Structure 1
Amino acid sequence: MVVVFICTCFFSCKQQEEEKPVPNILFVIADDLSYPHTGAYGTDWIKTPGFDRVAKEGLLFTRAYTPNAKCSPSRSIIITGRNSWQLEEAANHVPFFPEKFLSHVEVLGNNGYFTGYTGKGWAPGDAGERELTGKRFSDLKMEAPTPSISPIDYAANFEMFLDEKPEEEPFYFWYGSFEPHRAYTYGTGASLGGKTIDMIDQVPPFWPDTDSIRNDLLDYAYETEYFDQHLVKMLATLEKRGMLENTLIVVTADNGMPFPRVKGQGYEYSNHLPLAIRWGEGIKNPGRVIDDFVSFLDFSPTFLEVGRVNFDSSGMAAFAGESLLPIFETEKGGKTDPSKNAVLIGKERHDIGRPDDQGYPIRGIVNEEYTYIHNFETERWPAGNPETGYLNTDGSPTKTVILNQRRIEGEYKYWNLSFGKRPSEELYDRKKDPYGLNNLALHPEYQNIKEGLKDELFRQLKAQKDPRMSGNGAIFDNYQYAQDSQRDFYNRYMKGEPFKTGWVNDSDYEKDFKEE
């Protein structure tokens, strides 16, 4: 009788656990936002109450990285759980997205989730008729505070999505802000945000410390706060509808801030991103700070696991990441898993602007102490060719200051850091040199460390069948750029064809540049 009672209780509890509804998922992604630029990380010149609430009531990650610091490839990694070098065309910016790779949003949609997005989903590129991030909900507009901010009312579109959702279905919603992507309306951080340049405690030492650069940072802060305001509204909507506690909320960004030496590069501000996760019913001991290294590769396996989707029947290609559920389910803070001690980074072609649409291929590994970067094509310009405006760096007051310092004053220090050619290997001590200014790769006393990191990086890349490891890296350059109007840009431009490149300034083009 006792045995029967115990068994009955066990199976009853197990049945209740299995019958517990799967969570809703709200994936929130800013466009070009670096760690540590939210209040929860101690940045006091940017106010982010929405992000800070998610962190306080959930988990705050201090070592979250995108493997590829550019819009399209970073988002491709998020939706597939695979590294760039495992995604064929989708390794590049503005690609044709390969048919063979399913997104986790498509899979969740095929397994009972009502899916949708507002703002910027997977982009830019060509995915054909596929809804890689769900059905579009961006029709509701509002009067934006500046001409540079999107008029899409993200929060209102989220409410419309919830109104359309069948009552019995869980939801997956992707809130993709277009902010703080450029362009900015110069001076709005001060005039509309009420900020002053002395609020910024430090300008990163890879840029000059000038008033115009500080104002550029304030404009970035203003647009970051705008992104967060819509998150605040979405949290309030979920709370009002009684849906907050069973919604897994992930807040992050696709890549680092749109400034020289950051977005589109491979340094700390490029790939290291903010991440906070809240799930009232699914995270033990909320309020923890997590110091494990986690990668954007981990999102897809996490979402499939919480959605109770069997991977073997999902149709998705093998993941390179791991589910974050063990971190949710432990009560520990700090380092919860000693094996999560490093991440891989890399890139291929980002924006066009080199001969024959070539990219700037790199691979790297980041651990607690060091960042090692391997540059494969050192004769190429890292941010794009000077004569075509360094197209992999958005136009900005900061970029203009650095370019003019070289042109007018003959000052090369900051230009070299942002635009100059690079050696085949870079090694930085992350504790002594957090901004990555002192390359240790040629120092004799660091050769064993460098070789050890290179061996580990290449071992993992070979295991993942990276074409760069088998001498077939040129395949990435040969994939077509998806926009006909910009394809083969360099060769066409140099022959005199006029172009509109709205993401850089006309003055960025170095028409009479001579390499020294």
Structure 2
Amino acid sequence: MIRIVRRFTALFLFLIVPLLSFSQARQARQRPNIIFIFSDDHAYQGIGAYGNKIAKTPSIDRLAREGALFKNCFVTNSICGPSRATLLTGKYSHMNGYKRNDRTLFDTDQTLFPKELQKNGYQTAWIGKMHLNSLPVGFDYWNILPGQGHYYNPDFISQPGDTTRHTGYVSNLITQFSTEWLAKRDDSKPFFLIVGHKATHRSWMPDLQDLGAYDDVTFPLPANFYDEYEGRVSARDQDMSIDKTMRMKEDLKINPDYQKDGLFNRFTPEQKKIFKDYYDKVAREAEAKNLSGKALIEWKYQRYLRDYYATANGLDRNIGELLDYLDKSGLAENTIVIYSSDQGFYLGEHGWFDKRFIYEESLRTPLIVRYPGVVKPGTTIDALVANIDWAPTVLDLASTKIPSDMQGKSFFPLLKAADPQRVPWRQAVYYHYYEFPQPHHVYPHFGLRTNRYKLAYFYDGADSWELFDLQKDPTEMSNIYGQKGTEKLTADLKAELKKLMVEYKDQEALNILAGV
């Protein structure tokens, strides 16, 4: 009898183990692939899907039509490196140790979501811009730009740390390397890929085929272009204006030094001729007009946006090429595509370019998620999400356990809900910016943003509160802090601000708050 049972058990195991293995393999194949396209300084208000009528962003707009567009995605520290550190960790800057764009080495020993994906059988890769002073960890493959990287003929650092210069335009090369990796990856595993674009970072150098793409456009001045910053000390004292900060040679390419300037000395002779011929024409126009005062400021504004949008054209075209590759390779159906930027950017609002402030244009960043068969095409989501949520969401999408030290929360429930507005969600987003005084002299500050209000405290010299009613004042021109009738609102918002500082363990901010 015992011998019969043993034979039956052996036969059962012989039959069931292959079935289990087949089931596990099938489950692995069904787990979604994920591509996170991450641009640099791409303003939400410069995208067609977010209402821009001038920008040519058909590929990003396509993602929005086929997926979900988040209207209120905010960053927690509006600066490049810290935003990337938050992407990888799901934690605030004070918790992941990367507060500023400086020579700090990003701590790769801490919890990083790609490490968790690897544990769950995902194949991971980062291609393009990383900008964290450290080589990637948690990625099976990487090929990254050193630091900021270059637009033309850029260097790439690949495993095991070799640096190679490649001929071509950076956005095109990043797409090329991404599709090459997708073609040769281990297709028995689901994959996660970050495509890190350099565009649209300063100094906005378009692909040769995009030069002059907006030369027939006259961009309307933002209503607050000539903001006088009344009642806003920090806004008045910054150094990021198109008028005073934007450089004619380096930023607007007016008679630059093509031999010595590192932005321009990497061209091949053929590239240089096309690029130089175009900007020599622009320089002659500037010299002929001999502008000064407001006329010069507004000319600089037009040139800035023409270069910025032309650079974004190349970014969008390459996103389209990647989407086309997914279609042709049969990967699109089981691949989640996420598009976002490391933060927002000023396109002349308040007379500025750059980011950093808690004000809306730099606080808010685009976020679009396409998930075929799960996310209803054309969905819009109003909930207040933040970049601390990106890491836990990716893990949740990949059915991977979310580590307890991540401070964000998965917004997957918003994506799959029939009505995202009915999903319980946070009512305020917390913000803390540190980098001061260089560059751009933006005072450090912390604050919160609710559906209607924004409260911020600027310190280290500015020492002032600002309060905005975004419903009545969406361009944040009127600081109502201290006005009669705002006492209860201010007290409630300060209490919520302190609560968020405690929740996110920002002891430095709590100490400052206690002294004001």
Q: TM-score, normalised by structure 2?
A: 0.71
Of residues 161-170 and 187-196 in structure 1, the stretch that sits farther from structure 2 once superposed is 187-196
* Counterpart in the other structure of 1:398: none
Shift, 1:470, TM fit:
4.8
Distance change >3 Å, CA 289–CA 99, structure 1 → 2: closer
Distance change >3 Å, CA 374–CA 189, structure 1 → 2: farther
Distance change >3 Å, CA 194–CA 462, structure 1 → 2: closer
- Could you tell me which amino acid in structure 2 is paired with residue 153 of structure 1? L
Shift, 1:74, TM fit:
0.8
Shift, 1:185, TM fit:
4.7
User: CA–CA distance in 2 between the matches of 1:220 and 1:376?
Assistant: 32
* Counterpart in the other structure of 1:90: 98
* Counterpart in the other structure of 1:295: 386
Q: Does 1:328 align with 2:336?
A: no
User: CA–CA distance in 2 between the matches of 1:173 and 1:375?
Assistant: 38
Shift, 1:152, TM fit:
5.5
1:426 aligns with one of 460, 466, 476:
466
User: CA–CA distance in 2 between the matches of 1:340 and 1:101?
Assistant: 26
Cα RMSD (Å):
3.3
* Counterpart in the other structure of 2:373: 281
The answer to whether the 8 Å contact 1:186/1:215 transfers is no
Which one scores higher on RCO, CA 8 angstroms, separation ≥ 6?
Answer: 2
The answer to whether the 8 Å contact 1:101/1:317 transfers is no
Distance change >3 Å, CA 435–CA 464, structure 1 → 2: same
Shift, 1:137, TM fit:
3.1
* Counterpart in the other structure of 1:495: none
Shift, 1:201, TM fit:
6.8
* Counterpart in the other structure of 1:136: 142
Shift, 1:297, TM fit:
1.3
The answer to whether the 8 Å contact 2:70/2:380 transfers is yes
Shift, 1:131, TM fit:
2.5
CA deviation profile, 1:424-467 (whole Å, cap 9, x unmatched): 21111112222212111121222221221121011111222212
User: CA–CA distance in 1 between the matches of 2:436 and 2:330?
Assistant: 42
User: CA–CA distance in 2 between the matches of 1:151 and 1:52?
Assistant: 18
Q: Does 1:361 align with 2:444?
A: yes
CA deviation profile, 1:263-284 (whole Å, cap 9, x unmatched): 122210111111111010332x
The answer to whether the 8 Å contact 1:148/1:183 transfers is no
Shift, 1:149, TM fit:
6.0
User: CA–CA distance in 1 between the matches of 2:380 and 2:98?
Assistant: 33
The structure whose Rg is larger is: 2
Alignment map for 1:44-59 (pairs within 5 Å): 44-59=53-68
The answer to whether the 8 Å contact 2:444/2:459 transfers is yes
- Could you tell me which amino acid in structure 2 is paired with residue 346 of structure 1? H
Flag structure 2 segments of 5+ consecutive residues without an equivalent.
Answer: 1-19, 155-166, 228-241, 243-293
* Counterpart in the other structure of 2:184: 164
- Could you tell me which amino acid in structure 2 is paired with residue 370 of structure 1? Y
How many correspondences in the alignment? 402
Distance change >3 Å, CA 188–CA 268, structure 1 → 2: farther
1:155 aligns with one of 166, 172, 175:
175
Alignment map for 1:437-452 (pairs within 5 Å): 437-452=477-492
User: CA–CA distance in 2 between the matches of 1:239 and 1:263?
Assistant: 35
CA deviation profile, 1:224-265 (whole Å, cap 9, x unmatched): 121111110000001111001111111011012266365122
The answer to whether the 8 Å contact 1:93/1:350 transfers is no
Q: Does 1:347 align with 2:433?
A: yes
1:435 aligns with one of 457, 461, 475:
475
- Could you tell me which amino acid in structure 2 is paired with residue 163 of structure 1? A
1:223 aligns with one of 302, 305, 311:
311
Shift, 1:31, TM fit:
0.5
1:309 aligns with one of 382, 390, 400:
400
The answer to whether the 8 Å contact 1:197/1:211 transfers is no
Alignment map for 1:396-435 (pairs within 5 Å): 422-435=462-475
* Counterpart in the other structure of 1:198: 218
Report SS of the residue matched to 2:71: strand
1:67 aligns with one of 76, 79, 90:
76
Distance change >3 Å, CA 350–CA 337, structure 1 → 2: farther
The answer to whether the 8 Å contact 1:293/1:342 transfers is yes
- Could you tell me which amino acid in structure 2 is paired with residue 340 of structure 1? R
User: CA–CA distance in 2 between the matches of 1:318 and 1:216?
Assistant: 41
- Could you tell me which amino acid in structure 2 is paired with residue 91 of structure 1? K
Distance change >3 Å, CA 221–CA 329, structure 1 → 2: same
Q: Does 1:126 align with 2:133?
A: yes
Distance change >3 Å, CA 185–CA 249, structure 1 → 2: closer
User: CA–CA distance in 2 between the matches of 1:253 and 1:40?
Assistant: 14
Distance change >3 Å, CA 456–CA 143, structure 1 → 2: closer
Shift, 1:132, TM fit:
5.5
Q: Does 1:246 align with 2:334?
A: yes
The answer to whether the 8 Å contact 1:102/1:317 transfers is no
* Counterpart in the other structure of 1:464: 504
* Counterpart in the other structure of 1:37: 46
* Counterpart in the other structure of 2:4: none
Report the identity percentage: 24
User: CA–CA distance in 1 between the matches of 2:418 and 2:504?
Assistant: 32
Report SS of the residue matched to 1:222: helix
User: CA–CA distance in 2 between the matches of 1:181 and 1:300?
Assistant: 23
Distance change >3 Å, CA 137–CA 456, structure 1 → 2: same
The answer to whether the 8 Å contact 2:72/2:382 transfers is yes
CA deviation profile, 1:131-185 (whole Å, cap 9, x unmatched): 266632359x99789x996365121111111122111011111111111101135
The answer to whether the 8 Å contact 1:189/1:220 transfers is no
Report SS of the residue matched to 1:182: coil
The answer to whether the 8 Å contact 1:50/1:229 transfers is yes
CA deviation profile, 1:81-128 (whole Å, cap 9, x unmatched): 1112222x212323222244222123213332221122112x1x333x
- Could you tell me which amino acid in structure 2 is paired with residue 322 of structure 1? K
The answer to whether the 8 Å contact 1:264/1:350 transfers is no
* Counterpart in the other structure of 1:77: 86
Shift, 1:40, TM fit:
0.7
Shift, 1:340, TM fit:
3.3
Distance change >3 Å, CA 245–CA 72, structure 1 → 2: same
